[in-house]
Chains A and B, each alone.
Chain A
Amino acid sequence: MIEVAELTKRYAGHTAIKNLSFTVRKGEIVGLLGPNGAGKSTTMRILSCFMPATSGTARVAGLDVFSQANEVRRQIGYMPENNPLHQDMRVREYLKFRARLKGLSRVRSRDRVDVVLQQCGLKDVSKKIIGQLSKGYKQRVGLADALVHEPALIILDEPTIGLDPNQIRSVRQLIKELGKQHTVLISTHILPEVEMTCSRVLIMRHGKILAADSPENLQSRMDKGTHIRAEILAPLADLQASLESMGNVEQFDIAPCEGDYLLCSLTGSEGADLREEVFEMVKEKGWKLRDLSRSRYSLEDIYVRVTRQEEEPN
């Protein structure tokens, strides 16, 4: 659906993206993840034909974004950052205007506006003035606008920014729903959002892609050794000795926690799952165990590690 090759965009004085290459297949929900200024919005603006790249090519549905801009625009539903809307229009009127602007016939635009009003839960506010709506509703109006011409690809730039937790949840749900019929490219710097909604993640920084994979694969790639957390009631010296004698433990740490329990954090050597061994050990010694769990790298850890690795050589 999207093929980007060697894309570079230079603004006066600095380079926003450098030799960016990636592809997005049909039906995927892809998240562009990166700190502010990583080049996410620039990439999206180029894909949506708002401005051209300095060099390189980008194709959407097989069409070049620069030379076939109008055809590409028909294929894309784009919601820019901060979701700009005409504050003085009413919801239905605005969507009708947008549908007509995107070339839909009078009858078809009326039908489509009804469909997207339903789809985005805007039926109740269709006659209200956009400027008077809450932020959550405005965001849905933006989404409805992106959907109104039935685009094959939907590009959303930070769709949940500035919303309260409930609104974020409903917008995410909506995006997930969209993923069933459309290809979706969203950008964000909120990690759980990507974890919850996306099937693939592109981590960007300084205009380059640092990592690209599904959230699960990224996690397992980072999970060289597993982390175990156990709360054990035992004499400190004995526990220390037992852990030292355990075979697969790469490193461990013991700290007191509430009650008289000791909190042990263990890192196993590659691939080893220490949970059974810990349980056996406790059972054998007759200690007490009240918590035993494996912690995985969260996407947040991955993100921090990937972006740090990038910084270190500099």
Chain B
Amino acid sequence: MQPFFTLTRRELGAYFVSLTGYVIITVSLFLIGLSFYTIVSKLQAESTPLPITELFYITPFFWLVLLLSAPIITMRVFSLEHSTGTFETLMTTPISDWQVVMAKFTASLVFYMVMWLPLLGCLAAIRYVTRDPSSMDPNIVGTTFLGIFLLGCLYMSMGCFASSVTKSQMIAAMLSLAIGLSLFILTFLGEQLPMEKGWAVATLNHMSMLEHMQDFSRGVIDSRAVIYYLSATGFFLFLTYRVVESRRWK
């Protein structure tokens, strides 16, 4: 396990020693702040029965942060190593292919979660101003972050896969944006189809991220959604592993 932790630490460190990490955090902080501003100005006009966390996820900025940050966080993980050749030095140390994939995935996921921390600050600010304990219900905040975490798992694994197939960080970012965006748009496709019962509609609804996130931000943990995200993450990690392993095919 030592190589796994060493590599995870190094990967995580790479975000913070270079400018990229701070740029990503700043941009997402800006977007979260913007959605905070939108919510506060709406709340001034009228009160709402919805939990604050649900209001957050309803703003388009939430999805913008997710869809844009994922490709940028993950584009470097394999592409950079491929293009500089450090992949060769990495793969000639006693580390297994699975450890490499998992270490890179874990590091990007941890960074992604750190990026979301300012959201807690926003919630705390609302709690402080309104003096209403229900505005920061720990359970609802917990499930919201669980939702963010699960979405992160899926998008980070997708990004790792996109990065593993190409030497160019640019192509990796575009590829993961394309996959991520398509998956997101499927949600709307499901809504546009006639509401007749059919396997296509059922499948699309099952994959609707908007609906999943709505549940999580209300404090509802739907096991189907959890299984959906975990299995999709596993699928993309497996694909990544196969790509990393492919150099050893005879």
Point out residues on A near B: beta carbons under 8 Å: 45, 48-54, 70-71, 73-74, 76, 78-82, 84-89, 97-98, 100-103, 145
- Smallest Cβ distance from B82 to chain A, in angstroms? 10
The docked-state distance in angstroms from the alpha carbon of A74 to that of B3 is: 13
- In the complex, the chain B residue whose C-beta lies closest to that of A105 is B2
- Smallest Cβ distance from B75 to chain A, in angstroms? 15
A-B contact pairs, 5 of them (CB 8 A): A50-B247, A85-B89, A86-B84, A89-B17, A102-B93
Cβ-based interface call for B223 (8 A): no
Give the chain A neighbours of B88 by CB distance below 8 A: 45, 50, 80, 84
The docked-state distance in angstroms from the alpha carbon of A102 to that of B7 is: 11
Q: Are A78 and B3 in contact (CB under 8 A)?
A: no
The docked-state distance in angstroms from the alpha carbon of A52 to that of B14 is: 30
The docked-state distance in angstroms from the alpha carbon of A70 to that of B91 is: 10
Give the chain B neighbours of A54 by CB distance below 8 A: 250
Given A84-B88, A101-B95, the answer on whether A51 and B248 have CB atoms closer than 8 Å is yes
CB < 8 Å neighbour of A103 from B3, B14, B86: B3
Give the chain A neighbours of B91 by CB distance below 8 A: 50
Q: Are B94 and A103 in contact (CB under 8 A)?
A: yes
The docked-state distance in angstroms from the alpha carbon of A73 to that of B92 is: 6
- In the complex, the chain B residue whose C-beta lies closest to that of A146 is B89
Q: Are B2 and A86 in contact (CB under 8 A)?
A: no
The docked-state distance in angstroms from the alpha carbon of A45 to that of B85 is: 13
Give the chain B neighbours of A48 by CB distance below 8 A: 92
Given contacts A50-B247, A53-B250, 13 further A-B contacts (CB under 8 A): A50-B91, A50-B92, A70-B94, A71-B94, A73-B93, A78-B89, A79-B89, A80-B88, A84-B87, A89-B10, A97-B10, A100-B3, A102-B93
Given A49-B92, A50-B91, A76-B92, the answer on whether A82 and B85 have CB atoms closer than 8 Å is yes
The docked-state distance in angstroms from the alpha carbon of A76 to that of B92 is: 9
Interface string of B1-21 (1 = CB under 8 A from A): 011001100100010011000
Q: Mostly helix, strand, loop or mixed at chain A's interface?
A: loop
Given A74-B94, A101-B7, A103-B94, the answer on whether A52 and B85 have CB atoms closer than 8 Å is no
Q: Are A101 and B92 in contact (CB under 8 A)?
A: no
Interface string of B220-250 (1 = CB under 8 A from A): 0000000000000000000000000001101
- Smallest Cβ distance from B220 to chain A, in angstroms? 43
- Smallest Cβ distance from A67 to chain B, in angstroms? 12
- In the complex, the chain A residue whose C-beta lies closest to that of B85 is A84
Give the chain B neighbours of A84 by CB distance below 8 A: 84-89
The docked-state distance in angstroms from the alpha carbon of A82 to that of B89 is: 11
Q: Are A100 and B92 in contact (CB under 8 A)?
A: no
The docked-state distance in angstroms from the alpha carbon of A145 to that of B91 is: 14
CB < 8 Å neighbour of B84 from A50, A87, A98, A100: A87
Q: Are A78 and B92 in contact (CB under 8 A)?
A: yes
The docked-state distance in angstroms from the alpha carbon of A74 to that of B94 is: 6
Quick one: which of B73-106 are within 8 Å of A by CB?
84-96
- Smallest Cβ distance from A123 to chain B, in angstroms? 22
The docked-state distance in angstroms from the alpha carbon of A283 to that of B129 is: 113
Quick one: which of B37-91 are within 8 Å of A by CB?
84-91
Give the chain A neighbours of B95 by CB distance below 8 A: 101
Given A50-B91, A70-B94, A82-B85, the answer on whether A103 and B250 have CB atoms closer than 8 Å is no
